[in-house]
Amino acid sequence: MTDIISKRDGRGVATLTLNRPGKHNAFDDELLSALLTELRACRDDEQVRVIVLAAAGKSFCAGADLNWMKRMAGYSAEENYRDARAMAWFYQELSTIAKPTIARVQGATFGGGLGLLAACDIVVAAEDAVFGLTEVKIGLIPAVISPYIRKAIGHRQALRYSITGERFGAEEALRLGLVHKVVAGSELDHAVEMLCRELLENGPAAMAAVKSLLYGANEDDLQKEGQFTSGCIAEVRVSPEGREGVAAFLEKKKASWRMD
């Protein structure tokens, strides 16, 4: 089974679907690499004018895959840095691609999955969707996605939700600015379709210029932030607390710092 299903219609709408429903579309380096390959194919295809990022099954994206987390737990600091740097580069390419992107969101979206939303231009969510920057629960941090979360919801809100790890619903995501539109689950496809039609009325070069206008001046900053945040998560992953938290999560045990 392929991790990414890529479809294009005759109008130039490309839909890239995360296809790990049994794992709630949790991602690893292989899935991100496959998604990046598809994004670049869309970027280079002049017929593609709009990109929709969707997900199969009940959830949009549960964050990092358990098997990947197991591998990362055994990585050295340098290996963790290289791994995190590749992820940071992926998010930068998703955010700055010169074509409008729409995220179609249902169910749960946690951790790095929120980075996918924050890096997309427009986000439409089902009213029962649930979100959370839950990394601190296992002694980690939302590092490489933090620049995109901060830009989406602001510094104060990014700090709150990153430091509490609390979950929140679609209406709160709308209030924060992480989500642009909330609809009933049965109306999700229709809402995305209406946005696609709106975008298809616009000049492709003009939309690309808008993204360049808003991102171009900050592209160097994104690269610097990517280097910095990659170093941060590499250090945290190999720290005693980080290793304990991941091990406790994988073994379904209680980490020593938990007071509940």
| CB neighbour list of residue 38: distance below 8 Å, 6 or more residues apart | 4, 6, 16
Beta strands in the chain (DSSP E): 4-8, 13-18, 50-55, 101-105, 108-110, 122-126, 130-132, 167-169, 181-183
> Tokens 């009940």 identify what position?
58
Q: Is 135 a catalytic residue?
A: yes
Cβ contacts of 167 within 8 Å, gap of 6 or more: 110, 130, 131, 132, 134
For residue 54, give every residue at least 6 positions away whose Cβ sits within 8 Å of its Cβ, in sequence order, or none: 15, 16, 17, 18, 103, 104
Catalytic one of 93, 135, 171, 172:
135
d(CA 105, CA 124): 6
Residues recognised as catalytic: 135
